[in-house]
Amino acid sequence: MNRRQFAAASATVAAPMVFAVEAKSKPLRVGLIGCGWYGKLDLWRLLQVAPSAEIVSLCDVDRKMLDSAAEMATQKQASKKQPRTYADYREMLKEKDLDVVMVETPDHWHALPAIAAIEAGADVWVQKPIGVDVMEGKAMLDAARKHKKVVQVVTQRRSTPHLVEAKEKVIKDGKLGTIGHVEICCYYEMRERSNPKDSDPPASLNYELWTGPAPMRPYNPLVHPRKWRAFMEYSNGIVGDMCIHMYDMVRWMLDLGWPTRVSSAGGIFVEKTSKANITDTQTATFEHPTFNVTWTHRTYGAPPDRDYPWAAIIYGEKGTLKASVNKFEFFPKGSSKATISGTALIEFDKYPEDKTEKDLETHVASALRAHWLDFLKCRDDRSKPVSDIEQGHISSTSCILANLSQKLGRTITWDPMKHECIGDAEATKLLKRPYRKPWTHPAG
């Protein structure tokens, strides 16, 4: 299957899904919690594949951001109706009239809104990692199964056309032979390097509610918008942001379940003057029964392979597969020339608005559309989507365990049935971090 054939096949598969959504007597009713960059980016992709979907409700703790999103949604959706707006997701979910709720908040605000949306009767689309601690993810999985809801995690590498092609043409076709090792990496200079002074929050931002269950820090301009990942109080650092994508992609491609042991080391070795408290250098090893997956990130210096600064490299006895969000290449053993390759599917012909949309990652748009189509199909037949909440929980937990290993300075042996770190009471206690009052952890 070449890229042209893949695109044609995708269009053939996608058409009935779109028609099914369009043919319903009532449009899909959607609510978005978190109206920042990626929340809007994901929402506009939904409108592209399901044009009759109705954006009913929008929620954000920043009034300026909320009003801007409401104006854009009114212009973009077919009905031209203005969505209801809320500062508090709990008020939004009291309406209990949404078919789908999107949770596009910072990481520390994923679990509580997602579980509340499930309990309010909605299917959920939630960003990765699904939580900031392991037991948040377990609570989300339990809620989804209890209420029989479809939950799609936005680990959209599983829906990326050229990576689907790589899985089919290289891995499933046996081109790699026996696989012995996988490397995943990110060498982007993405860690915040500045050190601005703490200040009062913007008048438009409810900083108390933005902080929610996380530890309260003095407001800093790095926090909002978009730079909150500089702090471990709100995120899982670069491992939780970038490693999860590549690790989840590899698990999907190679049909891997839980790791048996996780180890990690790293720290702030170079960028010591920044206010950011996430690592600038970190390695992690995820041990699986037949081979290991190793992660490296470094936010300074040059990448070893400039063509693959954020990528997975899968080593087999017969050859090597390199895969990224932009392309893939298969190199047979002993050859420096790729014999099978593919690039990201760009669909400007079908969606010309992609060319001009502000801050859109155009190489990712086709993956998000496919991810939505998978989710909508699974809503119709009540099946598990490609990035089902259980898969999101495995990948998120594994990355959180890596950070715990780095923090504690020792390897973690994992029991997925009991959700315990075997023989390590201290590490097990850290699987659930304290919530700031009056918020209550969903795991009790």
Average pLDDT over residues 315-333: 98
What tokens appear for 349 in the block?
A: 């012909």
Domain spans, the chain: 3-157+377-389, 165-197+222-351+390-429
pLDDT tens-digit map of 288-314: 999 999 999 999 999 999 999 999 999
Average pLDDT over residues 333-348: 97
Longest dimension (CA), the chain: 62
Looking at every residue in the chain, the average pLDDT score rounds to: 94
Model confidence at 5: pLDDT above 90: no
Residue 25: pLDDT band (50, 70, 90) is low
Report the C-alpha gap between 325 and 246 in whole angstroms: 9
Average pLDDT over residues 348-374: 97
User: To the nearest 10°, the Cα dihedral for 152, 155, 161, 164?
Assistant: -90
Model confidence at 130: pLDDT above 60: yes
What order do you get walking across the sheet with 84-86 strand by strand? 84-86, 54-59, 29-33, 100-103, 123-126, 151-153
Residue 1, pLDDT score: 39
Q: Please, which residues have CB within 8 angstroms of residue 91's CB and are 6 or more apart in sequence?
A: none
User: To the nearest 10°, the Cα dihedral for 85, 90, 94, 96?
Assistant: 80
pLDDT tens-digit map of 46-67: 999 999 999 999 999 999 999 9
Average pLDDT over residues 237-263: 98
Residue 225: pLDDT band (50, 70, 90) is confident
pTM, rounded to two decimals = 0.94
Report the C-alpha gap between 160 and 166 in whole angstroms: 10
Report the C-alpha gap between 110 and 346 in whole angstroms: 30
| Percent of the chain residues past pLDDT 90, beyond the cut | 93
**Contact at 8 Å (CB) between 392 and 125?**
no
Model confidence at 77: pLDDT above 70: yes
Residue 269, pLDDT score: 98
Any alpha helices (H) in 120-160, and if so which ranges? 134-146
Residue 222, pLDDT score: 92
Model confidence at 12: pLDDT above 60: no
pLDDT tens-digit map of 145-190: 999 999 999 999 999 999 999 999 999 999 999 999 999 999 999 9
- Per the document, the length of the chain is 444
What order do you get walking across the sheet with 340-343 strand by strand? 340-343, 327-332, 319-324, 310-316, 179-186, 292-298, 281-287, 261-267, 412-415, 420-421
Residue 16, pLDDT score: 34
Q: Please, which residues have CB within 8 angstroms of residue 422's CB and are 6 or more apart in sequence?
A: 413, 414, 415
Model confidence at 17: pLDDT above 70: no
Q: Which of 12-21, 87-96, 240-249 has the lowest mean pLDDT?
A: 12-21
Residue 226, pLDDT score: 87
Provide DSSP, 270-309.
S-TTSS--S-SEEEEEEE-SS-EEEEEEESSS--SSTT-S
Residue 396, pLDDT score: 98
The architecture of the domain spanning 165-197+222-351+390-429 is 2-Layer Sandwich (3.30)
Residue 170, pLDDT score: 98
Residue 15: pLDDT band (50, 70, 90) is very low
Q: Which of 14-18, 373-377, 398-402 has the lowest mean pLDDT?
A: 14-18
3-157+377-389: CATH, from 3.40.50.720, 3.30.230.10, 1.10.10.10, 3.30.360.10: 3.40.50.720
